[in-house]
Amino acid sequence: MRARGRRWLPSLAVAVATAAGAAPAAAEQEPRGALFDAAGPGAGQLRMGVGLLFDVLAQAATAGFRVPAPQLTFDARYGLGARGALLAHLHTLFVTNQIEVGAGYTASVGPLEVQGRLYAGALLGALEGFGFAAASVSPLVRPGLVASVPIGTHRVSLAGDLLFVPLQQTFVGGTGITVRSFPPLMGASVTLTVEAMLAGGGVLFYGAALMHTQASYQIWLLYSDDPNLLSYPRIFAGYAF
């Protein structure tokens, strides 16, 4: 009897070790969440996405300076503990760029996940050629709220943002010009984003926004101090990995 009992000891030790190692392995295989929805990828997880963005803007609104063309976009999000997140965003048309970093915090409100977020960064522009050389730097602050809900394998989010730009520093040739005559509220947006969670772990995202901004947000060469705002749609799509 004693010998037979000893035969079971190695098997019991293997079973205990296997069970102990299974829990961490399962935790490591927990799927990451989405990129743009309020819940995010999860604590300790990173999502990055690339895509295209297009503003459907009448040429008359920018005095013909803005050529209709898609902009490249890049977004990144890293989940922190206590439901916080670090955020980064870029969209670029090379002659005009919006670069931002920020942070957000998420809370559950009934069936919704709601995130408050704050971005800070700059609008950067540069144009050289055809006998013309100019550049522009404008600090910006963009507070916003995102509310999200899961629908099957999709994450649907509605976001509202305000865009504050207190001044525009422009350089033409060797001369610097500081413009503060326009209102600091450069504009606002409401954005609907749909994210499809793919079987391979990636995320396909697409959506549309209603933009309401000053003309100088679209093309800094206007040096506009016109307080009137333009309304236009923005569409976008991309892939997050």
Q: What is the CATH number of domain 31-240?
A: 2.40.160
Predicted TM-score of the model (pTM) = 0.81
Confidence (pLDDT) at 131: 66
Please name the residues in contact with 68: beta carbons below 8 A apart, sequence gap of 6 or more: 54, 57, 59
Give yes or no for residue 15 having a pLDDT over 70. no
Give yes or no for residue 60 having a pLDDT over 80. no
How many CB atoms lie under 10 A from the CB of residue 176?
10
Confidence (pLDDT) at 67: 60
The tens digit of pLDDT for each residue in 16-51 reads 444 444 444 444 556 899 999 999 999 999 999 999
pLDDT band at 8 (very low <50, low <70, confident <90, very high): very low
- CA distances to 15, 23, 25, 66, 80 from 12, rounded to whole Å, are 5, 18, 20, 72, 39
Q: What is the secondary structure of the chain as a DSSP string?
A: -HHHHHHHHHHHHHHHHHHHHHHHHHHHTPPP--SSSSS-S-BT-EEEEEEEEEE---GGGGTT-S----EEEEEEEEEPGGGEEEEEEEEE-SSEEEEEEEEEEEEEETTEEEEEEEEEEEEEEEEEETTEEEEEEEEEEEEEEEEEEEETTEEEEEEEEEEE---EEEEETTEEEEE--S-SEEEEEEEEEEEEE-TTS-EEEEEEEEEEE-HHHH-GGG-------EEEEEEEEEEE-
Average confidence score pLDDT of the chain: 83
Q: Measured between alpha carbons, how far is 145 from 147 in angstroms, rounded to an integer?
A: 7
